[in-house]
Structure 1
Amino acid sequence: MMQPTSADSKPGVSNLSRRPRILIVDDDPLIQDSLVRLIKAQDYEAVAAGNGRQALDAVDRMQFDVILLDLNMPGIGGVDVLAELSKRGVATPVIVVSGDNAIDSAVIALRQGAADFIRKPYKPEELLKRIGNTISNQQLERENSLIQQRLQQSEKWHRFLVNTSPDFIYTLDGEGRFTFVNDRVESLLGFTRSELVGCHFSEIIFEEDLFRAEHVFNERRADARASRNVELRLKCKDGQQRPRVMNGRYRTVEVTATGMYEFPETRFENRFVGTYGVVKDISDRKQAEETVHYQTFHDLLTGLPNRAKFRDHLGRALVYGKRKQQALSVMILDLDNFRVVNDSLGHGVGDELLIHIATRLRQCLADDDILARLGGDEFAVLLPDTTSRLEATVVGHKLIEALNSPLRIKGHDLYVTASIGASFAPEDGAVADTLIRQTEIAMYQAKSQGGCRIQHWQPAMQEAFSGRIQMESDLRRALANDEFVLFYQPQVDTMTGAIKGFEALIRWWHPERGIVLPDAFIPLAEETGVVVPMGEWILRQAAAQQAFWRKSGLPPVRISVNISPRQLETADFVGSVLRALEANQLEPGALELEITENVLMRDVESNAAKLTQLAEAGVCLAVDDFGTGYSSLKYLSRFPIHTLKIDRAFVKDSQLDGMSIANAIVGMARNLNLNVIAEGVESAAQLERLRILQCSEVQGYLFGMPMPAQDATRLLQEQAGVSEDVAKAG
């Protein structure tokens, strides 16, 4: 009875990825059992059949790699099985294992198609050797048959398939000389087919790749171990430039090759006849990969290493320095006033400025020093072999001085300064990320001290920086937790003393610090971008307060709201103002926007367009701190201005210069039919001088400090004679 010893599979093409499967046909159960154990010990699959009928049934159901067949069996004998297999076209090799000593039996078996004959008794190792050889021969015959089928195709069909291939296809003889190349070789390397046939393959291999090519181009293996997708470089003819080549001397390719063999009549040995290979041009892919790699580790604007590449350089330098006991310095440089240039003259000018700055910085450094752009206007420098902090300080001052002279960009003479932080390794640390973080903290410290200086890392800076980080976190939380509140400072008619409006000023009720004035958090809010949602909140809150006063029957007064630079830059700035008014059913003139001269001048075209759109809707515009910035009528005439606010510096200055400037501003405003508000009025003498100048409105501590909404409501109530219930409700 047939005894399958492994999972059955359906008949069909032999699966080369599975273990070889052997069919054992013998009517002796003891021989069957011993053969099964012997076969399985070699990691083969074994299936046993007790007679010829079972053997033929097994062949119908599954694919075998070798059949071990006994000739002398009852019923359908071994010779009959051979005849039936031949009749059915079964090509599985058969090894006859028989105890019949007659030579005729062996001859008959071989004539019937047996692949081999071995007599009982036999040595197990001899049988295994025969099985192994048979399996190998079968595989080689299968591969050779496939090659022969391809070679036997019609010449026309062969030329079409091979010569129109996008890949370079070749065959080599046993000595490594080309016996065939397709037409693709000419467009790839510049050689004609006749120039290469007969040449050794090494003549087209790039010199540095010869050793690897010896094991690839003339591959002798024909199994799964054969070379696949091995990268090499092939020489172009005479080094000439081929189409789309990265380097005119060579093309980068991937080679897949397999050995070709023919089988002698003895069937026990095979002979290597050459190599068949396919060469795929990957030059464009390699160029793309190199481009991606470059872009991953370099700043595309300046061509300098980026943050990731700088971190890699620093890590390697730290390892080398530790081994050689050498110190190194890290510096991070941030431009102090780059954003003003970028915002006022546009990103195109800003980008060109960065390129010129990178060139100047590079000229200050030695060849071994590393300069990188970390992002924005932030650069990093690695000095790989420094002996002291003083050496880094000297280099830092050279970098600062290199920026002292103006840079001529698109008709503008631009002046920039830099703040530099520095760290010294291994004293300040021996981990790349730690050094970079500490150096950035030192740079922020230099910037906080006024910029245009170098500051070395000190451990005490960590606490200050942590405080800055905590402040930023608190700011973001404050928006969500409604910790901000608006105070209001009255703006008074100079002649009558009547309240004409209020300036809305933000305060922060910090849960731990108490009241925090804007000077302590607005710069950080501006830097981090928190000022944008904060500014939108101020607009909504001021509009809501105005609506409350209107509904309470109080006399109409304007509320002035300060607009930050980043808020004005947003694409939705106009929409945010109009939405705040519409949500509270207010006419546009209920709010006045205060913007400083310098902010207006940052991007004249864009700012003028936005503010004109608001003015056409009815929103008023006040220029804050007038007289401290451009004070250019040419530029200011482009904006729909309603009010000029005289800076407190001119109000406090009782000398002739200060009064002259204030007088000029008032006169100019009168001629342009603009309202004028003087800020910082703290004494009766200052008020009297402004009255003499006919300044229309004043604002300052003389008339009241910034106050909560309830107190502002009370002032309006007193002015209008409205019940105090209104004040309490405010």
Structure 2
Amino acid sequence: MTERDATPDPKSVRILIADDDPGLLESLRQLLSLEGYPVHTANGGGAAIEALRQESFDLLLLDLSMPGLGGVDVLRFMRAADLETLTVVVSGNSTVEDVAGALREGAHDYLKKPYEPAELMATVRNALQRKVLEDTNRAMRARLEQSERLHRVIVNNSPDIVFILDADKRFRFVNSRVHELLGYSRQDLLETSVLDLVEADERDKAEYFFDQARNRQTHLRSVELALRPARHSRTRRFFEVAVWPAGAGETHDHGGHEALTYGTARDITDRKESEAFINFQAYHDLLTRLPNRALFRDRVDVAISHAQRSGTRLAVLFIDLNRFKVINDSLGHTVGDRLLQGVAQRLQDCIRKGDTLSRFGGDEFTLLIPGLADNDAAVHVADKILESLQAPFEIGEHELFVGASIGIAIYPDAGDNLEALIKNADIAMYREKSTGRTGVRLYSPEMGGHPPQRLQLEQDMRRALDRDEFHILYQPQIDTHSGLMVGVEALVRWDHPRLGLLGPAEFIAIAEETRLIVELDRLTLRTAIREILHHNREGRPELRLAINLSPVLVERDDFVEDFLGILGETGFPPDLLEVEITENLLMSDTVDTVHKLNRLCAAGVQIAVDDFGTGYSSLSYLQKLPIHTLKIDRSFTHTICQEDEACIVNAIISMARGLQMNIVAEGVETEAHRDYLQRLECPMMQGFLFSPPAPLHALLTNGDLVAATATCQ
């Protein structure tokens, strides 16, 4: 039987879905129905058991956590009733205990919520293929005495290795697929133990599995094993091995019959390699094959824990290449990528086996040296790295030279946690880089908390305010019902003469630390009001303006007088202005904050909470403070189509309705986001689906396009 033959006609399949979430039941039903599968649903474990009593099903998609009778209870019922329905658990419970428990109770496969539709359909198809093979094997055993020839035709055309073992685990039969997949002749394997095909490091696991599988009381029926190919092939291959003891009346342990075990082995090498590659991608930089930032952080955390217990020291080195940007810009990214690979190889040649070298990003590398004897040892490694980079790199027809600036932070002198060590190594590196030379610098407390580049950015910002280097872009806020742009949010950008266009994330933190944010916020407010007023007079009198204000500005004693003074000077209608503040400001819940916001509200200004739901404050402030709007943070919107994440957005919208507040969903970037929010009747949306931040005149010119994007179905 080929893989294609093992796929049943969807109309001939009976599928039951059991879950206590009506929304999920309907979603799964629709998804499977689109593929042509007849689907029955059961709301909860009790309903599932009743359906299984009354009808037979080929496949059960089962949730574990349900009130009353849960998924495990359903599995136990099926085992007691000896039902042949194949079960795939679809659940948010993803711990090892949950997965192992479900498999022990008879589940065929396990799929974690939230799932991708394609992943679900692939799992369903694989399960149904498995069901067909199981049914075929059962029928084959029943007809074995009647038609040995038909039996061999079916088995030898199976996509899997099909075999029969005797009581000593020796092959009594194996189909020709074993030669195609492992290179063994069928005759060579007869009377050979199946354990001889298992890789040495998995022999104990395999022996335990086959011993247990002969016990009719156990539900251990499948296992993943690495099987050893014939001598001419050294490639390690992985198989899902499933076995079934011979049925009662066919064979037995005593008398004139043998105790046989039937089995199949499905080649899952491609799947295992894909899983390994995905795991490698998650923790490694694909260009250099080095650990990435995530894996490096994990290694540093482990090293710090060990150093704390043993009283030893460790070093974190921050390595920044000199002249790389010049090479990359002049010769292209292909040459730049090959240069980074060459640098990574030389750096690896300089370190010990227990050290961790990571590509931190761009042309930056980090190095962890645990078990440090003294500070000089770290400096010695850094000097060795610099020496290794002195020789030119031969990249194609180019002979390239790069150097490096290296900063070193020693635990515990330069910090007792991951963030402090990386930050201080970075500071030391920038201090060395500012000298214009290739070299090494050991961090010392005298260097302070700001690398030279940060100090330079602060100085540039002071000049930028005088030179009008800041400008405002706007992002439209769309009325969900009408699809019209009813407001805009003002977003500040910095046209830096040397670094190019900078977004708020690159300079707002510095502005707040230096208190330059006060002047910047005032400038942003005046500029935005002036531009909105111009267009209000040109035919958009109802266009609303939303603007973010820093807590640094709001906490000033003269905040309200200054703010209302600007409105009075410009003549801007207060009821068209919405001030966005963060939850961090509201967490203080001081009397002074409440008083200031009440004064703004009394003047007609609307108050919005930006990035709502990302803080950890008590929700009591929603009733204590004059808040009109909640802005759902983009991180929640981005995961809105995942069932276990969407509930957060549902809850926020429901809560806002109950408190009679407006809602704006930020980060709407796909039609799926938009459609979901429309179904929830979220009143307003904002995001790249409608428009990226743009000049105001461009948004008003393209207003019809924005409206079309908002209303298309």
TM category, shorter: 0.3 to 0.5
| TM-score relative to the length of structure 2 | 0.44
Bigger CA radius of gyration: 1
